[in-house]
Structure 1
Amino acid sequence: MEQQRKVRAEVKLPLILIHTPFGLDFFDRVAKWPGAKAWAEINAYLMPIITALAIFLIVGSLAILIANAEARQNVGALEPTANLLIPGLNPYLPITYGWIALIVTIVIHEAGHGIIARIYNVRVDSTGIVLLLGLPIGAFVNIEREELNKVNLKKKSSILTAGPLNNMILAGVSLAALYFIITTLTPVPPDPNSPQFGIAVVSVNPGSLAESIGMTQGSVIQTVDGQEIREINDLGEILRANLGRTVEITWFDSDNQLVTEQATLPEAVEPGRGILGIQVTPLLPDSGAVLERYKGAFGSNPIALLLPPTMQQGAVPYSDLMQSRYESTLGPVWVPAANMLFWLWFVNFNVGIFNALPIGPLDGGQMYGSIIEKKIKSAALAKNATNLLTAVMVAVVAAAILLPYVLNRL
């Protein structure tokens, strides 16, 4: 059967798959590069490392959620869609940066499989791009399944590992480039006319009480019911003490204009849920301290850098809230460059470790399933063992996602 060499469209609503020959030609060329075979040999042994990291992070987060009530409350306060890696559905994943990062991630992932398959002369039926309602969302590589299953376990492992490994490599490169940009920053002296106390509004939820009274991102809340707000806890305590009442709220808007509005608070609020529908941060975090803490995390705890700037605006130099407080030797381009590199790091890392999990159709699931089949001669017993491994891993992942929402409502 000849590889497909014509451009054609395949409709699987709401998806449209555009099959092209260009990926096939590229894979064949790269497969002949010097060192390509040696790289494929290395690939065969690296999936367990990525899998171990993935399980460590998932089990570690689960342990923290079980032991720490504050962590459960913070995670449970997020929308469930925050667990989805889909721009537009995940409120913390910006659409432009998110879509670009997701497309690059999937292309890199699929290219990894295709190139290693061609190194081992495993046929790739077709390649192409995936459109969702006409918008590109990724790519695909159709490897001939029968040929893949015929190669020995080492070669199959190399082909399956290539996708997650490519993602982890790109994640590491993006993180290193982001660190370089951070080292070019210097804090800008604060505006002496800015508010001297209060808490800064990082974001305002659509349809929230704060939005209804005209509060916007960058506002600085000064008083509620005549009482000064100097700490984040002050806001929650005063609001909860006035549930069901109409209170006066004053704040400085992003143009440093003082605004006063009346807000009628709800009679009750669910545990872990906000009242105004805003995210806040301490007023004017010290720009120098924020920069040094963030820079230090690259060496001490890079996993902590996975928390998106949209979730911790006051702690990330290139966030919407903080970016104006720094200047770079790179000029204004540093802001979009830093954000793009962060989301490339974030999306590639998450896609890489997720695909390395021992779950059924994922790359890791296919590889570990093949190992189990080789070790257990009984086909029925091997299938049961593979299904059990998948079920256990799915349960662990589901627990890490759902636990905060369940416990916060008990």
Structure 2
Amino acid sequence: MHMDGEAGVKIPIYPILILSILLLYGILPLWAVIALSGWYLSLLYLEYYGYLEMWNLERVLGIVLMIRTSRGRVFLEYISKNRKFWRLFGEFSIWLCFLVMFGVVFLMIFAFVSSMNSPPQGSLPATDILFIPGVTSFVPFWWPALALVFTLLIHEYSHGIQARAHGMEVKSFGLLVAGPIPVGAFAEPEHMDMNMAPRRERLRLFAAGPAINLVATFIFLVILGFVSTGFVASNPGIHAIAIIDEGGADEAGIMPYDIITHVDGIEVPDYDSFSLQMDSLDAGDIIIFTVIPYSAEEGEWGISTEIPVTLGDKRQYYLDQCEGDVDCLSETNEVLDSYGIEEGEAFLGVSYPRSGTFQTDQFSVIFDDRYSSLEKIVIVTLTPLSMLGTPMSYDGQTMNIHERMMLEVDDDFILSPLGTGTVLSLFDFIFWLIWVNFLLGFLNLLPIIPFDGGHMVKDGTHSILSIVMRGSNPLRVEKLAGSISGLTTIAMLVVVVIPILMLIV
């Protein structure tokens, strides 16, 4: 279906209808729909008058511009010279990706079952189901957009390196953009080479993209850990995220993010020293806390002051939450006994007390001698998963904005000449490089065509069936492998899409 314009340009209305639906259901805001419509009409104009072909560009999927280039081929030939190494990396990629794929499928099925058993009560803005820098509520524009370009480039370049390492020709590389936003990238191997390549080699090629993103995730995680070691607290001490009503801190007037620097005259520059000092006190003690008050309106800390605080009883506080319920009291007593919380233990009445460098300490673990090698490996392995929720929790920020203002660069740190603001910006960029690389690698391993994981499942299934059905007609094996791959794609789409729909409907 087309509409004929005055200049003879045929305008397919399907993309316009799709944009209208996205606007109607709130998936894209009005300004984004207007911008994409203008972009779409501009592409049609340039395509009709031959400019796109002249510039070696191509319009695909309606509003997406495919930017081709062959400039990277010289570097590709250079970097892929060591074919033995890259073939070994391809083999490693297969095992890594199938291992992670099992984890991805498990998490998706777990999320699906959880959604069925306990439907989410709240709703997610429709714009948040797509990862679009500047549009998704928890994804700002600049750092995520730059991280996305880099991530897409190394992903596709890794495919290209595997192609060359196995003797396949690569026609071109390119980037897919919708306006200023990168939405994909591609390496274009010769179609005939791909079809004729052994399935093991194709598996290596498909696996190389997600694998390089996962490897890059942990390389950047180490770099982020190093950058994090350079931060210190502007005012060493501890602070609380929230104050418990009618607790000692609340009655004394201590507020969230107020920095406690001394307890009864003893300096407490971090959580460990604060905890040690509190353990030496008893419920009912009246203790002088030295506090630097925080003004949320002005976003800054005031002058240090001394505040007397009457400490509460930690065990009694938790028992009081039961409000006399016998079963609750019995269960709570058991839990308190298991944690060794006894009657008379001092309780300040604050939630989540932590050091001023808490936000960066969680990344500098790899350089912390207090942890064993095994503990570091476990923490670093799980950190990317925990990072996925950080921008959602902090409105698109890489850390709590109040705690961010508590940081400064240590004068002895190698990057200190850059200043605190620049090093924090570097922290942000590396954070988003980790976030985007992990998300792209993770999602690309969903066993859904056309994702790399879907192609891997199809070729992997074919290889297994070729062994199990040895002697059978190759066309029958090919058809069965395709059927299994198709059913897997449909099943995973159901598992992935239904929980998302439950969040936005």
The question of a shared fold, defined as TM-score above 0.5 by the shorter chain, is answered with yes
Aligned residue number for residue 356 of structure 2: 287
Distance 1:167 1:400 in 2: 26
8 Å contact from structure 2 (residues 70, 171) kept in 1 = no
The alpha carbon displacement at 1:286 in A equals 5.0
- Equivalent in the alignment of 2:248: none
Inter-CA distance 308–342: structure 2 relative to 1 (3 Å threshold)? farther
In structure 1, the residue matched to 2:393 is: 312
Contact 1:317/1:323, CA 8 A, preserved across alignment: no
2:59 corresponds to which residue?
11
Name the stretch that deviates more: 112-121 or 331-340: 331-340
For 1:106, the aligned partner's letter is: L
The secondary structure found in structure 1 opposite 2:488 is helix
Tell me the secondary structure at the aligned position of residue 426 of structure 2.
Answer: helix
1:364 to 430, 437, 453: 453
Name the aligned partner's letter for residue 386 of structure 2. L
Q: Does 1:59 align with 2:109?
A: yes
Q: Which runs of 5+ in 1 are unaligned?
A: 1-5, 200-227, 232-250, 258-281
Q: How far apart in 1 are the matches of 2:409 and 2:435?
A: 23
CA distance in 2, matches of 1:289, 1:383: 50
Secondary structure, counterpart of 1:254 in structure 2: coil
Q: Give the equivalent residue in structure 2 for 1:382.
A: 481
Shift of 1:39: 2.7
* Cα distance in 2 for residues equivalent to 1:127 and 1:92: 30
Matched, 1:337 2:421: no
1:49 and 1:163 map into 2 onto residues whose CA distance is 15
1:27 is displaced (CA, Å) by 1.9
Specify the SS of the correspondent of 1:311.
helix
Verify: 1:106 aligned to 2:163, yes or no. Answer: no
Q: TM-score normalised to the size of structure 1?
A: 0.68
Structure 1 counterpart of 2:59, which letter?
V
- SS of 2:446's equivalent in the other structure is coil
- Paired with 1:350 and 1:67, the residues of 2 have a C-alpha distance of 26
Distance in 1 between residues matched to 2:91 and 2:385, nearest whole Å:
32
Distance apart, 1:362 and its partner CA? 1.1
CA drift of 1:386 comes to 1.5
* RMSD of aligned residue pairs (Cα, Å): 3.8
Superposed counterparts of 1:271-286, under 5 Å: none
SS of residue in 2 equivalent to 1:92: coil
SS in 2 for 1:22: coil
Aligned equivalent of 1:82: 128
Please say which of residues 304-313 and 176-185 is displaced more in the overlay.
304-313
2:397 aligned with 1:397: no
Q: Select 1:27's aligned residue among 56, 76, 96.
A: 76
Letter in 2 for 1:312: S
Name the SS of the counterpart of 1:130 in structure 2: strand
The verdict on how the C-alpha distance between 1:319 and 1:230 changes in structure 2, with shifts beyond 3 A counting, is closer
| Higher alpha-carbon Rg | 2
What are the residue-to-residue correspondences of 1:203-242 with 2, within 5 Å? none
Q: Which residue of 2 aligns with 1:265?
A: none
- Change in 2 beyond 3 A, CA 1:174/1:256: closer
2:384–2:434: 8 Å Cα contact kept in structure 1? no
Superposed CA deviations along residues 166-202 of structure 1, whole A, max 9, x for unmatched, are: 11111111111112222222222289xx999889xxx
Question: Contact conserved, 1:372 with 1:382, CA < 8 A, in 2?
Answer: yes
Counterpart check, 1:46 vs 2:135: no
Asked whether the equivalents of residues 92 and 308 of structure 1 are also in contact (C-alpha less than 8 Å), the reply is no
Gaps of at least 5 residues in structure 2 are: 1-53, 245-252, 257-294, 302-350, 366-374, 467-473
Q: What is the aligned partner in structure 2 of residue 171 from structure 1? A: 217
* 2:495 partner amino acid: V
Percent identity between matched residues is 25
Alignment partners' CA distance in 1, 2:241 and 2:165: 64
Change (3 A) 1:404 1:9: closer
Using the size of structure 2 for normalisation, the TM-score is 0.56
Q: Which moved more, 1:78-87 or 1:382-391?
A: 78-87
**1:327 equivalent in structure 2:** 408
Contact 2:153 2:185 in 1 (8 A): yes
Q: 1:253 matched to which residue of 2?
A: 297
Are the counterparts in 2 of residues 16 and 134 from structure 1 also a CA contact under 8 Å?
A: no
Q: How far did residue 11 of structure 1 move?
A: 3.0
Q: Distance in 2 between matches of 1:27 and 1:317?
A: 34
Aligned residues: 325
